[in-house]
Chains A and B, each alone.
Chain A
């Protein structure tokens, strides 16, 4: 049996104000209001779709998965960083204001330039860095195009070893934490919550040997030490990553690293990049 369809005209309407910025015509961002039909299941992203389809096809925003997986639909809703697809109009009975993610340069309307965040991610080498001898054995060496059997052994992990880093591995790179972070707002060179959480995630992984390569960036002023534990990053994170915890655990790691460095013989000044074995 066919469900009777509710026509948008029968639905309740809510005022959604959107911060527009069209570089070719606006000098600064401007606000525009729309009346959007909604019910209990209408997300902010649905509202943006509705506006684009019915009222203003020039409205520009990012999205993909509609289910809090891809991390591309981040916007400020009433001044708080949120995923558009995970935020519902029913929670804003007085209407809402949607703007581009704070602390990033706006490209157009709700689309921001995230390259700074992506640079910071690259800086901390967010991938497994293997044990050097195994890595060498794994790449085909002269005389043989087969990796050695040692290199082909699976790197097993116990559930406890997985548990150490799993929470920090849930990041979807949405950037909400960067919008929430006043320190990133003041100093965009700060590596920031997600990048540091990811560095911590790999440093905690029993298969990884890359800590010495990541630590110099984390130890610097723009690494863990720019954080003053405001904690808003963890509040807004849609995935429960708790980057603030990662950064503050990172401060302990960095302090220990410093103590070891300061109290060891001078020859440790050599760059840690070349592991000796």
Chain B
């Protein structure tokens, strides 16, 4: 092997950044939300009215609701698909360009779906 080997920059920083951002959401934000939304009312931290359908849907379709979609759906999707993509390689089941397209493609597709539903629901 020669020392002058040419190296091609990997596109992994893109996927890894989405994976890392998704990881933070999955590890910190989502558990906090679950505790708050599931146990909040019974612990008296939230009044049941706060979670009424009307209020929640107004909140969700507010422009800031987009951040919620990003943090709770889109980034975790990329997080999960990145893990699956690398898991398929580790188990030596699939490590082709096709597997990569399918993994990140499905994350993209589902993200697109979530965004479309959000836009349609406004």
State the A residues within 8 Å of B (CB): 119, 122-123, 182, 186, 216-217, 219-221, 223, 225, 228, 251, 254-255, 258-259, 261
B3: Cβ under 8 A from any A Cβ: yes
State the B residues within 8 Å of A (CB): 1, 3, 5-10, 12-13, 16-17, 86, 89-90, 92
21 A-B residue pairings within 8 Å (CB atoms): A119-B1, A182-B90, A186-B89, A186-B90, A216-B6, A216-B9, A217-B5, A219-B7, A219-B10, A220-B7, A220-B8, A220-B10, A221-B12, A223-B7, A225-B10, A228-B86, A228-B90, A251-B16, A254-B10, A255-B17, A258-B13
Per the bound structure, the CA–CA distance linking A223 and B21 in Å amounts to 22
- B contact residues around A182 at 8 Å (CB): 90
- A contact residues around B89 at 8 Å (CB): 186
- A contact residues around B1 at 8 Å (CB): 119
- B contact residues around A228 at 8 Å (CB): 86, 90
> What's the count of A-B pairs with C-beta under 8 Å?
42
Question: Given known contacts A186-B89, A225-B16, A255-B17, is B3 in contact with A123 (CB within 8 Å)?
Answer: yes
- B contact residues around A122 at 8 Å (CB): 3
- B contact residues around A119 at 8 Å (CB): 1
Indicate the member of B3, B13, B17, B89 with the most A CB atoms within 10 Å. B13
Q: Is the CB of A216 within 8 A of B16?
A: no
Per the bound structure, the CA–CA distance linking A186 and B92 in Å amounts to 9
Q: Is the CB of A123 within 8 A of B16?
A: no
Q: Is the CB of A255 within 8 A of B9?
A: no
Partner of A259 from the list B12, B13, B92 (CB cut-off 8 Å) is B13
What is the CB-to-nearest-CB distance from A124 to chain B, in angstroms, rounded to a whole number?
11
Question: Which A-B residue pairs are the 3 nearest by beta carbons?
Answer: A225-B12, A220-B7, A255-B13
Per the bound structure, the CA–CA distance linking A186 and B91 in Å amounts to 10
- B contact residues around A251 at 8 Å (CB): 13, 16
- A contact residues around B5 at 8 Å (CB): 123, 217
User: Whose C-beta in chain A lies nearest to the C-beta of B89?
Assistant: A186
Per the bound structure, the CA–CA distance linking A216 and B6 in Å amounts to 8
Per the bound structure, the CA–CA distance linking A258 and B17 in Å amounts to 12
User: Whose C-beta in chain B lies nearest to the C-beta of A254?
Assistant: B13
Per the bound structure, the CA–CA distance linking A10 and B14 in Å amounts to 64
Per the bound structure, the CA–CA distance linking A228 and B95 in Å amounts to 14
Q: Is the CB of B90 within 8 A of A261?
A: no
Per the bound structure, the CA–CA distance linking A119 and B1 in Å amounts to 8
Indicate the member of A119, A122, A217, A258 with the most B CB atoms within 10 Å. A258
